[in-house]
């Protein structure tokens, strides 16, 4: 049996849903699992509107091993798993560390066990630039050493990578890729899917669009006295569709057995630093809106600056991220305006 179906965990979530669209666009057969803790199953209707394909979602918790096994029993042709499902709020993880460790690590253990037992031999793990902590050198490469994790969430990603690495040593038939995302933002160009969390948005780009649309009276710029070119923090904002496409490239790479090791790591950033003030300027430029912001004290736990060296993903996966901060702001804004219109109707 050809095992070419891809199981996307967290498929109703932000990056998972965009990745499903890109996988379908590239001819993959997909099944999703998402317990809807931070998402809505209606996103599957939107994916159908974009692609013409109706994707099945299992609304189960991956921390339940028996329920997770059932997906593989039902779909013996699953050959690859892209594991997005996780809790991802940095602040919440500080207040609920055990919940974060239980959810993010038990779900990973169960899914790896299923990969081993059901012959799904390609595995992709959603990691994060937060594994680097306060990196000592910029840009960070995949070889840059991990510093102390700044939160329990970040620690789940550091430990998740180590678990997958130990699993790879013991299970050479399963090849794994860790994708370390920098700051994903923006929405699909169709404006049919975007970021739609159940939790309050705290990341910069949705805070900007919510403020400009009047959902917030004003926003805060956390710190203007850092040792950066304009005093605000620097990040590597990467369009969600570029992130999505990296997963397609990674699964194609593994299915074609182009990997020379059964455990590899790739940074996914655009490779450039953008400051908070530069992000605000880009938003104002592409939308014509003016943003009501105030400078506030530094936010606890923020790293000063981080951006990626993305050469490895470009060269080995053939990944070519081609959307910049203005594309991010334009698509995020279109999505925000649409959400507000829907909320009023
Ligand atoms: P998201 O919250 O939109 O999507 C994650 C999905 O997983 C949600 O729909 C949630 O309901 C589901 N889920 C969580 N635990 C589950 C469980 N036990 N069983 C079944 N479903 C479960 O988040 P996202 O932004 O799409 O992030 C996807 C992945 O990328 C996560 O692993 C996250 O840590 C990682 N990541 C995200 C960012 C970012 O800024 N968005 C950056 C770096 C890494
Ligand atoms: C970006 C910049 C803020 C909000 C987080 C996670 C990280 C990864 C990506 C998952 C910072 C500033 C923000 C606001 C502001 N996620 N800011 N006002 O903190 O780089 O990374 O998302 O893995 O783990 O920590 O992203 O979007 O919160 O902040 O000034 O209202 O915008 O200080 O400099 P961050 P962010």
Mean pLDDT across the stretch 305-329? 98
Residues of the chain with CATH 3.90.25.10: 204-234+272-313+325-339
- Written out in words, the top-level CATH class of the domain with range 5-186+238-269 is alpha beta
Strand order in the sheet with 57-58: 57-58, 29-33, 5-9, 78-83, 122-128, 175-181, 263-268
* CA separation for the pair 50, 52 (Å, rounded): 6
Is the CB of residue 207 below 6 angstroms from any atom belonging to ligand 2? yes
Q: How far apart are CA 107 and CA 132, in angstroms?
A: 23
Instruction: Please provide the average confidence, as pLDDT, over all residues in the chain.
Output: 97
Instruction: Express each pLDDT in 43-56 by its tens digit.
Output: 999 999 999 999 99
Q: Residues with Cβ < 8 Å from 159, sequence gap 6 or more? A: 101, 105
| Cα atoms in the Cβ-side hemisphere of radius 13 Å centred on 63 | 12
Residue 306 Cα to ligand 2 middle (Å): 11
Reply yes or no on whether 118 is catalytic.
no
Closest ligand to C-alpha of residue 15 is 1
For ligand 1, the distance from its centroid to the CA atom of residue 86, given in whole angstroms, is 4
Per-residue confidence (pLDDT) for residue 201, from 0 to 100:
87
Mean pLDDT (whole number) for 267-274: 98
Using CA atoms of 13, 267, 91, 325 in order, give the dihedral in degrees to the nearest 10.
-80
Nearest ligand, measured from the Cα of 220: 2
When pLDDT is averaged across residues 201-222 and rounded to a whole number, the result is 96
Q: Measured between alpha carbons, how far is 81 from 119 in angstroms, rounded to an integer?
A: 11
Q: Read off φ and ψ for residue 11, nearest 5 degrees.
A: -70, -20
Q: Whose CA is nearest to atom 4 of ligand 1?
A: 13
Distance of CA 284 to the CA centre of its chain: 25
Our answer on whether the CB atom of 206 is closer than 6 Å to any ligand 1 atom is no
Token readout for 93 is 């993880």
* Per-residue confidence (pLDDT) for residue 232, from 0 to 100: 98
CB 111 within 8 A of CB 118: no
Look up residue 124 and give its two tokens.
């992709």
- In CATH, what class is 204-234+272-313+325-339? alpha beta
Q: Which of 7, 8, 9, 10 to mutate to test the pocket of ligand 1 (most atoms within 8 A of CB)?
A: 10
Q: Choosing from 58, 118, 153, 253, which is the catalytic residue?
A: 153
pLDDT digits (tens, 9 = 90+) for 167-184: 999 999 999 999 999 999
Q: Which of 84, 105, 128, 156 to mutate to test the pocket of ligand 1 (most atoms within 8 A of CB)?
A: 84
Q: Are strands 183-185 and 175-181 parallel, antiparallel or unpaired?
A: unpaired
Q: For residue 301, is pLDDT > 90?
A: no
What are the pLDDT digits (tens) for 241-258?
A: 999 999 999 999 999 999
């Amino acid at each position: 049996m050809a095992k070419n179906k891809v199981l996307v965990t967290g498929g109703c979530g932000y990056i998972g849903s965009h990745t499903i669209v890109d996988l379908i666009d590239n001819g993959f057969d997909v099944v999703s699992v998402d317990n809807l803790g931070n998402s809505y199953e209606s996103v599957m209707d939107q994916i159908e509107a974009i692609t013409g394909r109706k994707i099945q979602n299992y609304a189960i918790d991956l921390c339940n091993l028996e329920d997770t096994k059932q997906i593989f029993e039902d779909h013996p042709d699953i050959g690859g798993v892209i594991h997005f499902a996780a809790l991802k709020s940095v602040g919440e993880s500080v207040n609920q560390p055990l919940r974060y460790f239980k959810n993010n690590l038990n779900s990973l253990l169960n899914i790896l066990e299923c990969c081993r037992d059901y012959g799904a031999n390609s595995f992709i793990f959603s990691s994060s630039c937060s594994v680097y902590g306060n990196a000592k050198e910029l840009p960070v490469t995949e070889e840059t050493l991990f510093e102390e994790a700044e939160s329990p969430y970040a620690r789940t990603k550091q430990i998740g990578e180590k678990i997958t690495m130990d699993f790879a040593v013991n299970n050479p038939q399963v090849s794994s890729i860790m994708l370390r995302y920098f700051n994903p933002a923006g929405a699909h160009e169709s404006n049919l899917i975007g970021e739609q969390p159940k939790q309050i948005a705290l990341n910069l780009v949705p805070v900007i669009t919510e403020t400009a649309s009047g959902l917030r009276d004003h926003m805060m710029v956390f710190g203007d006295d850092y040792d950066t070119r304009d005093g605000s923090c620097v990040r590597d904002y990467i369009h969600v569709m570029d992130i999505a496409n990296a997963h397609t490239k990674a699964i194609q790479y593994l299915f074609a057995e182009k990997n020379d090791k059964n455990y590899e790591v790739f940074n996914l950033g655009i490779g450039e630093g953008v400051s908070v003030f530069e992000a605000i300027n880009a938003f104002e430029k592409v939308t014509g809106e003016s943003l009501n912001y105030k400078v506030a004290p530094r936010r606890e736990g923020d790293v000063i600056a981080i951006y990626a060296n993305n050469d490895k993903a470009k060269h080995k996966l053939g990944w070519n991220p081609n959307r910049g901060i203005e594309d991010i702001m334009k698509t995020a804004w279109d999505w925000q305006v649409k959400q507000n219109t829907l909320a009023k109707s």
